[in-house]
């Protein structure tokens, strides 16, 4: 009887000691940082318990590779905020969610990205860029959990710029669909100091000269619209006319060169199509048959840009 009493007393004391020693642990709420700090070195092992579909792709992503070997503070929480509440309530309202229905403002989401990327040179003019001013979030274009190579730039840009998809599909176009030119070759989506369209140059001509250096000159006689802006005559994304021209010549030429001078005849629908056949001015290269040096002349005697 006495032995049974002592056994029960020992058990009671043991339980009391265990409770007394661990009461602080039981009282404190278990948070992600406290319970899993060591595991977080494995790029969000705790988060992967629920988000297992994202974990393999994230390991190969830019962020995943950048975080390899870094301390435990570089975790999912770096972008998504504290996960303490999210563990108990796994809703988008308890975490920084980058989905459209995540309930966070564009400014708040972009601030999360700029915590790390604010020193990136390509973001120097983000605040003055068209995307920032039009409330575009970084996550609208960038996928956080997938590798960079899996992102198709054209698909991303065409999500908003749908009219440009049709333009580059026209018969005369820059080789964008062929993969030889990308949108970012001409545009900086993160903003530029200068211009409409966020182009990667001080002006349109300087951008075009990066590939079309033969049109830079210098010329003895310069064609004024060429000197001013290449886009006066050319549609940069695509056109149904040859050489990306905004109109078919001679109509394009007669936008500036009126009918009162050479050649003296406006090539409109009435005079261009008389009799049984259209005017021969509509065939071949039209005005360019004679005025072949249309971008500028290097001859002191050739102010008319003729061959």
Q: What is the pLDDT of residues 223-267, one digit of tens each?
A: 999 999 999 999 999 999 999 999 988 889 888 887 777 766 766
Q: Is residue 159 part of a domain?
A: no
Range of the domain at 120: 55-66+73-151
What is the arithmetic mean of pLDDT over 21-29? 38
Q: Is residue 235 part of a domain?
A: yes
Q: Is residue 78 part of a domain?
A: yes
pLDDT per residue as tens digits for the range 170-196: 999 999 989 899 999 999 999 988 778
Final residue in a domain of this structure, among 151, 179, 209 = 151
Question: Token digits for 158?
Answer: 């065409």
pLDDT at 247: 92
pLDDT at 228: 93
Burial of residue 306 (CB within 10 Å: 0-12, 13-18, 19+) is middle
pLDDT per residue as tens digits for the range 42-55: 435 678 788 887 77
pLDDT at 40: 41
Alpha-carbon dihedral of residues 299, 302, 305, 307, nearest 10 degrees?
A: -80
What is the residue-averaged pLDDT of the chain? 78
* Range in 23-32, 114-123, 129-138 the model is least confident about: 23-32
Question: Token digits for 149?
Answer: 């190579």
Q: Is residue 45 part of a domain?
A: no
pLDDT per residue as tens digits for the range 62-113: 787 777 766 545 678 888 888 888 888 888 888 888 877 777 889 989 998 8
User: Hey, CA dihedral for 251, 257, 262, 268, is it positive or negative?
Assistant: positive
Final residue in a domain of this structure, among 151, 183, 205 = 151
Q: Cα Rg for the chain, rounded, in angstroms?
A: 33
* Range in 58-62, 89-93, 113-117 the model is least confident about: 58-62
Final residue in a domain of this structure, among 95, 118, 151 = 151
Q: Is residue 289 part of a domain?
A: yes
Whole-model pTM: value is 0.73
Q: Is residue 143 part of a domain?
A: yes
Question: Token digits for 103?
Answer: 């309930």
Higher-confidence position of 262 and 204:
204
Q: Is residue 50 part of a domain?
A: no
What is the arithmetic mean of pLDDT over 270-279? 68
**Are residue 61 and residue 137 in the same domain, yes or no?**
yes
Helix, coil or strand: residue 106: helix
| Number of structural domains found in the chain | 2
pLDDT at 9: 46
Nearest to 296 by CA among 304, 285, 284: 304
């Amino acid at each position: 009887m006495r032995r049974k009493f002592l056994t029960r007393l020992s058990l009671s004391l043991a339980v009391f000691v265990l409770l007394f020693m661990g009461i602080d642990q039981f009282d404190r709420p278990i948070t992600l940082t406290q319970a899993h700090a060591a595991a977080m070195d494995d790029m969000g092992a705790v988060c992967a318990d629920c988000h297992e579909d994202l974990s393999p792709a994230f390991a190969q992503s830019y962020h995943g590779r950048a975080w390899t070997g870094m301390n435990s503070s570089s975790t999912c929480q770096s972008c998504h905020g504290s996960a303490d509440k999210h563990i108990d309530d796994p809703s988008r309202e308890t975490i920084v969610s980058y989905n459209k229905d995540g309930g966070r403002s564009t400014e708040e989401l972009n601030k999360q990205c700029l915590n790390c990327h604010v020193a990136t040179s390509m973001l120097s003019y983000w605040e003055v860029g068209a995307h920032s001013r039009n409330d575009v979030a970084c996550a609208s274009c960038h996928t956080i959990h997938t590798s960079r190579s899996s992102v198709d730039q054209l698909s991303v840009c065409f999500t908003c710029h749908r009219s440009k998809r049709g333009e580059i599909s026209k018969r005369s176009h820059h080789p964008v669909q062929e993969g030889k030119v990308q949108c970012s070759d001409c545009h900086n989506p993160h903003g530029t100091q200068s211009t409409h369209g966020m182009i990667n140059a001080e002006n349109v001509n300087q951008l075009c000269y990066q590939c079309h250096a033969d049109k830079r000159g210098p010329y003895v006689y310069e064609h004024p619209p060429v000197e001013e802006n290449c886009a006066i005559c050319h549609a940069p994304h695509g056109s149904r006319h040859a050489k990306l021209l905004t109109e078919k010549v001679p109509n394009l030429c007669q936008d500036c060169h009126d009918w009162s001078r050479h050649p003296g005849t406006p090539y409109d629908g009435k005079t261009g199509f008389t009799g049984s056949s259209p005017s021969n001015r509509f065939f071949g290269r039209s005005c360019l048959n004679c005025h072949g040096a249309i971008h500028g002349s290097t001859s002191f005697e050739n102010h008319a840009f003729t061959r």
